[in-house]
Amino acid sequence: MTFRNFNPVLEARNPVMFVTEISLFVSVAISAIPSYFGIPSSGRYEFFYITVTALIFLTLLFSNLGAAISEGKSRSITESLQKLTTESVAHLLKDGGMVDVTSSKLKKGEIIHVKKNEPIPIDGEIIRGSAYVNESNITGESRPILKVEGDAVTGSTILLSDGIDLRVTHMPGETFIDKMIDIVKGTTRSRTPNEIALNVLLSGLTLVFLIVVSAVFALSHFLQATVNVMVLVVLLISLIPTTIGGLLPAIGIASINMVSQFNIIAKSGRAVENAGDVDTIILDKTGTITMGEREAVRLIPNNGVSLEDLAQACYISSKDDSTREGMSILKLASSLGAKDQELNGYTYIPFSPETKISGVIGENTFVVKGALKALKEKYDISDKYIEAVCKEISSRGGTAIPVVRDGSFIGVIELNDMLKPGIRERIEELKKMEIKTIMCTGDDEVTAAYMARESGIEHFIANSTPIDKYNVVKEEKKNARMVAMVGDGTNDAPALAYADVGLAMNNGTPAAKEAANMIDLDNNPTKLIDLIFLGKQILITRGSLTAFSIANDLAKYFVIIPAAFSIFPKLDFLNLLGFTHPLTAITSALIFNTIIIIILIPLALRGVRFRPSSADEILRRNLLFYGLGGVITPFIAIYIIYVILLATGVVW
């Protein structure tokens, strides 16, 4: 891979290194036939020419090595994913029967049945049943995940419990794993806008110095002064920004690899880069701020209603509720004496973010549960005791779900959720970076205010609907802010698509995953915060190494220019280190120019350490460390190399 990148066609994508490669060809020609170029060809000069040629070759080699290491990591990820794409048997439901076909023959929209302990043959959405799925080959998480109706499942994962029916959501070759393979391939990585802009800057600098060196060559002829062509080659290599030019491909590919290490798939480098520029983050309460595993912990009956009566009503309203909260209500109601009951003559009303109500309706009766405000408005009812109970539960950070039967409140279900450990500290870190935080929750104002206060969130929107999330994204973008948000449902898709950084959960709906530009394989919404840190680290890495590269180029000018133009005594004032052997000084600078690339490769691949702080603080710190360090380091290093060369008898 390293030597393959020497191909001039591939190298041409990086103008700085392309010019370096042309310089290598020129230096080889000079070393072979110096007399043709009208320059000295004695033994000591020949050794100088060969040394320069070898150093330019090593500069190219080390540059390609960094990119090759990054691409090697991408290939290892790709190879591990390709092992998951083996064909399997699918049980296609067709014409009232079941037909076994290979997974490669399936089409989008077809219905298949998956049996216990079988691999799921292709990406799909559960339309009947619920079961535990082992996703360890995708996420690395050994604990099985409960999947219910409406949840997305990924091909190659293993069904561990009851059989389920799936609707195929992707054609073979277009599945989630297929897309992951395409994304992580280093060869298909598209350059980000910032990377393109930096490449244009480096190309411009390279062109300027090409013109400068050409002008020097022409000027020497005009003044009838002798200038060694090989010295001009060294001058060009030292003037152009070879350090950052050599590291840029490695940084770009490494950014995708770093995201992959977080078990996140970024659909583009732009998404990762956007994360570094985010200044508004929209967070769901459930699963992001809190643990996300709300469970029914208590039933509180209204005056004149027995606990057993309320438990039975809760059981009836939740029997067909396949959500995790619904299952926990069933479990609690059963433990309090509720009996299994056939719902003949009842119609189930599923929960929706718009209505915030679910339950069952019979011919002359109904039992529903939901948000207090929604129930009061829909049925035009009120109850001061129920409202007081809901307020008390909300004030403790719980979620109150009132239950209505035949137009009257009969009690309240208390759901409990806890703040995620360390979430307050993470929010404080975002504040240090001057990032605005907004929490969206379907809970009432009291619960929302409590959770915002406890977590340190600055702003919150209570009783929020999917359109509220979209409007928040729209409003923030209208104020020229970069917005990030997380979601997992079809109703989150518009906001995910409109946000600059949209992180979808792997267990989310196909619509959410298509709309987002990043997918979290571990289904951990808090990773949106990690993404922002990672994005900033990547931007800081590129900026820091660029500052260091340009700064050390500046230092090299003071070494090479007076040595290269020793024929012009008036330039002696630039010889700050007092070098008396021009060619040895030039060689010292070129050696430094070569070895600094391989020294910085680990930093380019790992990234510059990021500490949460404001943009001004980051800029000041990096200019001080990498800018000033980039000026001082070359002087010290080149002087040490020069002394070593003199001590070993390398004197020209």
Catalytic residues, by residue number, are 284
Helix (H, G, I), strand (E, B) or coil at 519: strand
Closest CA to 349 of 381, 380, 318: 318
Rounded CA-CA distance 106/511 in Å is 20
- Cβ burial of 504 (10 Å; 0-12, 13-18, 19+) is buried
DSSP 120-180: P-S-EEEEE--EEEE-HHHH---S-EEE-TT-EE-TT-EE-SS-EEEEE-S-TTSSHHHHH
> What distances in angstroms separate CA 354 from CA 343, 357, 371, 649, one per listed residue?
25, 9, 11, 83
Q: 3-state SS of 342-392?
A: CCCCCEEECCCCCCCEEEEECCCCEEEEECHHHHHHHHCCCCHHHHHHHHH
Order of strands, sheet of 89-94, starting from the edge strand that comes earlier in the sequence: 97-102, 89-94, 111-114, 164-168, 124-128, 152-153
Closest CA to 537 of 628, 605, 633: 605
- Cβ burial of 462 (10 Å; 0-12, 13-18, 19+) is buried
> What distances in angstroms separate CA 235 from CA 212, 240, 267, 376, one per listed residue?
10, 9, 41, 80
**598: Cα separation from own chain's centroid:** 26
Joined together, the tokens standing for residue 414 give 């208390």
Query: Contact, 255 vs 538, CB < 8 A?
Result: yes
Count of C-beta atoms within a 10 Å radius of residue 294: 20
Rounded CA-CA distance 121/137 in Å is 14
- Residue 174: CA count within 13 A, CB half-sphere: 11
Angle at the Cα of 48 (from 46 to 53), degrees rounded to 5?
95
Query: Contact, 338 vs 311, CB < 8 A?
Result: yes
Query: Contact, 603 vs 541, CB < 8 A?
Result: yes
β partners of residue 90: 101
